[in-house]
Structure 1
Amino acid sequence: MPLASDITIDASKFRAENVAEETKKANKLVESITANSPKWHEVGAAKHREMRETGETPLPVPVYLPEAFNATLPSRDNSRDIPMRVYKPSNGQRSKGVLIHFHGGGFVLGSHMHADTYLRMYADKCQLTAISVGYRHAPEDPYPAGVHDCIDAAVYLVDHAEKEYGAPLRFIAGESAGGCLTALTAFGLMRSRPSHRLSGLILHYGEFDLSLELPSVISYTKPLVVNKDSLERFNEAYLPGMSRAERRHPGVSPLYEDMIGLAASSPTKSLPPALFVCGTDDALLDDTLLMSAKWAISGEAIAKIYPGACHGFTAFPGLSVAEEALDVTVQFVREKLHVEV
């Protein structure tokens, strides 16, 4: 009997000939937009956020849906609350669970207010109450402020979601920096609320090693959404003065968490199921490959890789690989909810 690898991967996902022409054209457009966009580190983070709101960046003006509403959650700091944006299932349908979402933006940019269409997807297609959390940003509030906000929001919803929304907290989702926060929050819940079992995590092109020393980051130089230089700027704002070794602390970089030990100490002896999504033209590709492989040792990990897709690709409406990835995301959630797919 011939030898078989204990780890398998679909190599076709990484071959250049399998990148669709539509994806190549989209990447060229995004690369041009990235290269010619105002830089947050030049105009200032706060100013750049204002410019995003008013359409002064190449990104479209944020869409605010009338069905979504604003609310707050308590934080560990009694003097402040955590803002959030809530979208409930349409037509008065009973919620099957609560999903909390942490947006991307390098821990510096982005907003929970910009996630309405994403929240609607989970509410309408999965019958979830979807909540985007307004965690604090660097450089005004560097690490661990944002992590604390995300964990505080999750802990509150573990304790109160049934009463306030008629269903338990079941999913955590995040993209890019939000993927990092999703993993850290899930690990935090496993320690502080070990009896609560999440139905799943959704981790889109997450940053899991903030030391930025994985090969795909080091070798990625083109200005296609993010590269090594832009990631360095974001992380320096978020982790000011931290050495590379300090950035590898598992409370900062979830890739370095003792996942085997954490799973072994949990009542279920496993990590929650997780969906990982990433494109092959992404500086953070190795983050997803390594994190999903480590996750699979101690829990269910589904990694979906999209040929030629760049960082942030699920946010590009009409792009075939984006639609496919979002369909997979909905399928994952519905399967974990035991809804017919």
Structure 2
Amino acid sequence: MTLMRPAKDDRFLLSADRSLASLCSPDAISASTHAVNTRVAEALAAITLPDGLPAMREAYARGELGLPASPKSPRARTTTIEGPAGPIGLRILVPDEVRGVYLHIHGGGWIVGSNDTWDEQLEYFGREAGMVAVSLDYRLAPEHPAPAAIDDCVAVASWLIEHAEREFGTSWLSIGGESAGSNLAVLTLLRLRDAGKGDAFRAASLLYGVFDLSLTPSVFLVKGAPFISLEAMRRFTGAFAGDVDLKDPAISPLYADLHDLSPALFSVGSVDPLLDDSLFMFMRWQAAGNLAQLAVYPGGTHGFNTLNGELAAVGNRGVATFLKAMRTEAAS
């Protein structure tokens, strides 16, 4: 079987009675989503990109590049573990009721971002699904091209396998991320599987991931989409890949052998240039014999779940519902 029980709120899940065409139809985009997208376009038009990568990283962290920065939670605590090239920073959010752990890998095109800009979403997953959030600061490109970030993610995942029960009182583990973070989440699962630890992580939430660094048709066809252009994607993927071929399964998991991986929820907006990445990976995930769901959010742009509005709320609720359902099924 390759289909999971649908969530209670399954309006945007692909199903036997809900076609991909209906989810991607312009007619399916709500007035509120149109309004959000208009505000984003207007805000981006007024932005002058900073010069240089250090300035861009600072602006991204402050939420000045169009994607808002999440308010930092006073409940968060930080620690470090030893990684393959030195200490790796962890940001940990523990909910009142602990049912599992969610290893979060942040997005940012592998070149920007950190583990302290997603507290709001991660706390929501804690309240709704009982997930302890552990978000890591992996090494960024281009200073540290692949496999540096992957090595760091695998190190933290391995640490959780050994320490989660003692640290948090649960051994149930899940993993996920956004954009480049989804890429790293899948690559981490592949590394763990090949090391004989494939059963450790029981669910994966993969939000608008980059799974083919050589780029899919929807990226090549993009025109005027917020946050992502063909030029930007080439810059991001080139920085992360370094000297590695863009189709190498070590960095482009669409080309990997995907057998024996966790049940996964693929979430993506219908107007995201990375739409094809999720469509293709969802099908390959199922073809390899894994459980999978695909949620397509009409009118959703890249990063839609970080924007204010109904679609963001529904998207984040979809992830929380999936994590909670996977944990509940494991306990039954």
TM-score between the two structures when normalised by the length of structure 1: 0.86
Equivalent position SS for 2:264: strand
CA distance in 1, matches of 2:187, 2:64: 33
Query: Which structure carries more relative contact order (alpha carbon 8 Å, separation 6+)?
Result: 2
Which of residues 274, 285, 290 is equivalent to 1:299? 290
Distance 1:32 1:233, change over 3 A: farther
Equivalent position of 1:232 in the other structure: 234
Counterparts of residues 60-99 of structure 1 (less than 5 Å)? 60=68, 62-77=70-85, 80-90=86-96, 93=97, 95-99=98-102
Equivalent position SS for 2:300: strand
Q: Could you tell me how far 1:61 is from its partner in structure 2?
A: 5.2
Distance 1:185 1:64, change over 3 A: same
Answer yes or no: is the 8 Å Cα contact 1:35–1:223 preserved in 2. Answer: no
Q: Does 1:281 align with 2:271?
A: yes
Equivalent position of 1:16 in the other structure: 26
Equivalent position of 2:197 in the other structure: 194
1:242-281 Cα deviation digits (max 9, x unpaired): 5xxx11111100111111xxx2xxxxxx321000000110
Answer yes or no: is the 8 Å Cα contact 2:37–2:301 preserved in 1. Answer: yes
CA distance in 1, matches of 2:205, 2:226: 23
CA distance in 2, matches of 1:287, 1:184: 15
Which of residues 42, 45, 57 is equivalent to 2:53? 45
The one-letter code of the counterpart of 1:300 is: L
Q: Which one is further off, 172-181 or 156-165?
A: 156-165
Q: Does 1:132 align with 2:135?
A: yes
Answer yes or no: is the 8 Å Cα contact 1:31–1:225 preserved in 2. Answer: no
Q: Could you tell me how far 1:166 is from its partner in structure 2?
A: 1.6
Structure 1's unaligned 5+ residue stretches are 1-5, 264-269
Give the number of aligned pairs: 313
The one-letter code of the counterpart of 1:247 is: L
Distance 1:185 1:169, change over 3 A: farther
Distance 1:302 1:193, change over 3 A: same
Q: Could you tell me how far 1:241 is from its partner in structure 2?
A: 4.6
Answer yes or no: is the 8 Å Cα contact 1:171–1:198 preserved in 2. Answer: yes
Distance 1:161 1:38, change over 3 A: farther
Q: Does 1:166 align with 2:174?
A: no
Structure 2's unaligned 5+ residue stretches are 1-15
Identity %: 33
Q: Could you tell me how far 1:105 is from its partner in structure 2?
A: 0.6
Equivalent position of 1:215 in the other structure: 217
> Aligned Cα RMSD in Å?
2.1
Q: Could you tell me how far 1:48 is from its partner in structure 2?
A: 1.6
Equivalent position SS for 2:116: helix
Answer yes or no: is the 8 Å Cα contact 1:53–1:62 preserved in 2. Answer: no
Q: Could you tell me how far 1:199 is from its partner in structure 2?
A: 1.8
1:54-106 Cα deviation digits (max 9, x unpaired): 565555455211101111122123xx11001000012xx3x222111011110
CA distance in 2, matches of 1:253, 1:55: 28
CA distance in 2, matches of 1:241, 1:138: 12
Answer yes or no: is the 8 Å Cα contact 2:40–2:66 preserved in 1. Answer: no
CA distance in 2, matches of 1:134, 1:169: 22
Answer yes or no: is the 8 Å Cα contact 1:45–1:139 preserved in 2. Answer: no
Q: Which one is further off, 178-187 or 62-71?
A: 62-71
CA distance in 2, matches of 1:195, 1:271: 7
Equivalent position of 1:266 in the other structure: none
